[in-house]
Amino acid sequence: MEKYDAVVIGAGHAGCEAALALARTGNKTLLLTLSLDAVAFLACNPSIGGTAKGQLVCEVDALGGEMGVNTDKTLIQLRMLNSGKGPAVQSLRAQADKIEYHNQMKLTLEKTQNLFLRQGEVVDIECHDDGTKIVTTALEQKFECRAVVFATGVYLKSRIIIGDWTKDCGPNGFANAQKLSSALERLGFKLLRFKTGTPARINGRSIDYSCLDVQKGEENIQNFSFLTRHKPKNKAVCYLTYTNLETHKIILDNLDKAPVFSGLIKGVGPRYCPSIETKIVRFADKDRHQLFLEPESLSTQEVYIQGFSTSMPVDVQEKMIRSVKGLENAEVMRDSYAIEYDCIDPTQLMPTLEAKNCSGLFFAGQINGTSGYEEAAAQGIIAGINANLYLKGKEQLVLKRSDGYIGVLIDDIVTKGTNEPYRMMTSRAEYRLFLRQDNADLRLTEIGRKVGLVDDKRWKIFNQKKKNLNKIFEILSKKFKPTEIENLFKDNGENLPKESISLKDMIKRNNIDAFKINDYLHVFDGFNFDIINEMNIMVKYEGYLKQQTEEIEKFKKNENMIIPKEFDYKQYHGLRLEAVEKLEQIKPLNIGQASRISGVSPADIAVLSVLVKKFNDENKNKKNAEYK
């Protein structure tokens, strides 16, 4: 029997990050995947990032992950979403070359020391009292290890649905995992049944682009990875079109054939990424819905229709597509489909993503009820980091909601659970002005270094950035006379000050920023875009950031009030029965997490705080007495 330190099951975006994190921290790691052709496969849409998702990718990168690096290598277009709004809601989104993204990530895995990539279907897991685990494949191969990361994506008992046609398989026709769900149930895990889907792919040559709105990329913006030293280069464009009343009529006339309404689909779909037929029914007052035509790769003519996911029969799909402006002669290459799959109830996990009922088992990605590549990668790197710390007998990493979007994501799913595929959004992060993508490295790279995942190259770049930020802030006190800045203020609609004004105070003006100042005064010429941008945000939003920092300090007080593992909620009076049941189920690490559990009231938290303090004081006195 082959022996490894850790086995990672699944080589999607969660599995890749988990396996790389384990191998890069010195663990002999086996990465098992149903198909080597599906490694880091962009099964749904050929993009990385998006609202709140861009923040997740930058945080994965800041911790020492690979998604940002691989996206920068393979992107064909990069844009900043919500660029007209404040930095708290701005998010990077890239069109990645679907084929190259897979190729480059697979090559990275293959080249990584300590990492062994192998094709095989896992059918069973055994957990022994001595901490060892035995992973068994369909070919009856057995692998012994001490930690297992489940990153199975949407492949557990997955089923493709198009009209009344179904097939037991994974995305894009890949093989699925038929027996692993039963193994998880035997281990005591509660399973859920969720659903997602993907739109049709059409041949680019059949699209009339002349009547469509062009969406170009941007180049003077930050990259996903803090390691990337060159500006992003856009190699392709996307196009915008819309559904219309004819499209809606076709859908409504055929609702009886829609599996999502006929009852054929049993799984719960994503609220924030519904099928087009669900949109038409749910938003009956809307005359049209946006559709984005996005290239899949530079080496194919396949084009993805973002916003047009459906599970209608193929003949209806074709009518729907050809009713859209610019797609009248569209040639369908791959039909749209829905996919159902098993996942676990994530409240069975601790904030470390380790299972509560079996030490050494970690879960990451869509198996935890989340949706999206970025959410998967974020969980993958945390599961990998914590599996490594578990193997080394060290305290595991828990990111707080004030540390990053990753902390918000994990806290949400393990504390509140989810009854639908969970999607990260900026509105979920209460400290979003502080948790920006531009400062992800300043927030998380030291943590990545501490857990052994940030290498010397990344650490050097990080420290150089901090030095450059200190240097640029030293310049801000420099003052300029009104005569020196007259054109700057006049051209940007600002009243000229009567006395000399510092660079810092100029930046705080509504219509002036550091980049505009540099166009006129060239005071920041020695600094790159990232440094100027970081400083500009910190100065312009200084007051708001100070206020949010104060809120974070208050938040941390409850987070730092640890609830001991041996604390028995049932022994104490004052807590409502519902609260006791919920607290026993979730087993929160601290008072902060307890306060976010559904069914636990502020009054319960007030009582619990007193009880925990009393419990800790009694234990402390007991230990002191024993010591004496």
Rounded to 5 degrees, φ, ψ at 156 are -75, 110
* CB contact at 8 A, 101 and 74: yes
* CB contact at 8 A, 332 and 317: yes
* Residue carrying the six token digits 């400083």: 535
Q: Which of 100, 151, 156 is nearest to 123 (CA)?
A: 156
How does 93-132 read in b/e, with b if 16+ C-beta sit within 10 Å?
bbbbbbbbbbbbbbebbeebebbbbeebbbbbbebeeeee
From CA 63, how far away is CA 61, in angstroms rounded? 5
From CA 155, how far away is CA 341, in angstroms rounded? 6
Q: What is the pTM of this model?
A: 0.95
Which H, E and C letters describe 432-477, residue by residue?
CCCCCCCCHHHHHHHHHHHCCCCCHHHHHHHHHHHHHHHHHHHHCC
From CA 598, how far away is CA 611, in angstroms rounded? 20
Whether the pLDDT of residue 270 is over 90: the answer is no
From CA 557, how far away is CA 475, in angstroms rounded? 36
Pairing of β 361-363 and β 147-150: parallel
Residue 254 — very low, low, confident or very high, per pLDDT cuts 50/70/90?
very high
3-class secondary structure, 33? strand
Q: Which of 435, 451, 461, 428 is nearest to 382 (CA)?
A: 451
Mean pLDDT of 330-334: 98
Tell me the β-bridge partners of 115: 29
What's the whole-number average pLDDT of the chain? 95
Whether the pLDDT of residue 626 is over 70: the answer is no
Identify the pLDDT of residue 1. 87
From CA 406, how far away is CA 143, in angstroms rounded? 31
DSSP per-residue string spanning 341-357: EEEE-GGGB-TTSBBSS
* Residue carrying the six token digits 């979403």: 81
DSSP per-residue string spanning 111-143: HSTTEEEEE--EEEEEE-TTS-EEEEETT--EE
From CA 105, how far away is CA 40, in angstroms rounded? 7
Look at 572 and 517; give whichever has higher pLDDT. Answer: 517
What are the Cα distances from residue 39, in Å, to 12, 105, 107? 6, 8, 10
Identify the pLDDT of residue 623. 61
Residue 144 — very low, low, confident or very high, per pLDDT cuts 50/70/90?
very high
Whether the pLDDT of residue 619 is over 80: the answer is no
**Residues in CB range of 410: below 8 A, 6 or more apart:** 351, 353, 378, 379, 382, 399
The set of long-range contacts for 538-543, using a CB threshold of 8 Å and a minimum separation of 24, is: 539/476, 539/504, 539/507, 539/508, 539/514, 540/507, 540/508, 540/513, 541/86, 541/87, 541/433, 542/508
How does 520-533 read in b/e, with b if 16+ C-beta sit within 10 Å?
bbebbeebeebbbb
pLDDT digits (tens, 9 = 90+) for 157-191: 999 999 999 999 999 999 999 999 999 999 999 99
Residue 272 — very low, low, confident or very high, per pLDDT cuts 50/70/90?
confident
* Residue carrying the six token digits 């026993």: 584
From CA 170, how far away is CA 99, in angstroms rounded? 18
pLDDT digits (tens, 9 = 90+) for 218-232: 988 999 999 998 889
Task: Provide the residue type at 341 as one letter.
Answer: Y
Whether the pLDDT of residue 620 is over 80: the answer is no
From CA 520, how far away is CA 513, in angstroms rounded? 11
**Residues in CB range of 99: below 8 A, 6 or more apart:** 296, 297, 299, 300
Q: Domains along the chain?
A: 2-196+341-450 (3.50.50.60), 201-338 (2.40.30.260), 473-547 (1.10.10.1800), 561-627 (1.10.150.570)
The neighbour count for residue 290, using CB atoms within 10 Å, is 11
Residue 622 — very low, low, confident or very high, per pLDDT cuts 50/70/90?
low
Lowest model confidence (mean pLDDT) among 173-182, 345-354, 567-576: 567-576
From CA 321, how far away is CA 323, in angstroms rounded? 5
